[in-house]
Structure 1
Amino acid sequence: MPTTMLQGKCENIPMPDNSVDAVISTFALCSVDDPERAMSEIMRVLRPGCAVHFVEHIAAPQRTFIHALQRLLAPMSRRFNHGCDPLADTQRHFITAGFWLEDLQRREFSGIPMISGRAVCPKQRPQS
């Protein structure tokens, strides 16, 4: 299957509207500078009914040891780990942008919570 890998920022994808069949994101959406803009760009380039296939780490539930540790490490992580925000709320960003989540799974890896699944671009998009 022919594929194209682009180098650039997710907040400004150099592709035409409705031109992409799938987006794959693995541990990347935590590092975008503007998550809302990134989700808007992903939705713009995806064809209706197509999806983002993702695996992402997320913030642990509040008032847990892991969440407190993520909060403590967040400033250093953002500065020294390519902008990675250990408190990312990727699920909320997908939903706010208008994606439908399918096959959402929650897991932990060494105590770090993660989600995986598909965020589907709706066939009828909201008017902006």
Structure 2
Amino acid sequence: MFLDTTHFPLVHMCLAHSEPEWESQFDALFARAQRFVLLSVDAPRDEHDAPQSERKQHALWLKRNRPALSRWCAGAVIVQTRRTVAIASKAMAPALAKAFGFPVRIVESEADIDVEVARLLGHQ
């Protein structure tokens, strides 16, 4: 994954591009000590596509960093423009929120991003 913090507190998370420094990118986000929202506009990658070692690394990182994620990440917004996938993703959102420790919102249009980000950051 790759994180783009150019538009902080909106942090664009690209799952299609794997960068070895993603962990240090999250460390830098946590060090800001400010709430942020993760945004993904690419379809979530099928975990079966990732090598087992990478899945294990992500799981261990999440276990270690869940408290920091819960504190600093106000939530995630995932843009899913394919209607059937969006419906399925919305059904999975509560389980994802429980696993990650922050709210997960699925939107079907990039036009809905700003509204969800404002809600998650408490600006609405």
Q: When the two structures are superposed, what TM-score results if normalisation uses the length of structure 2?
A: 0.35
Larger Rg: 1
Q: Point out the structure with the larger strand share.
A: 1
Q: Which structure has more RCO (C-alpha within 8 Å, separation ≥ 6)?
A: 1
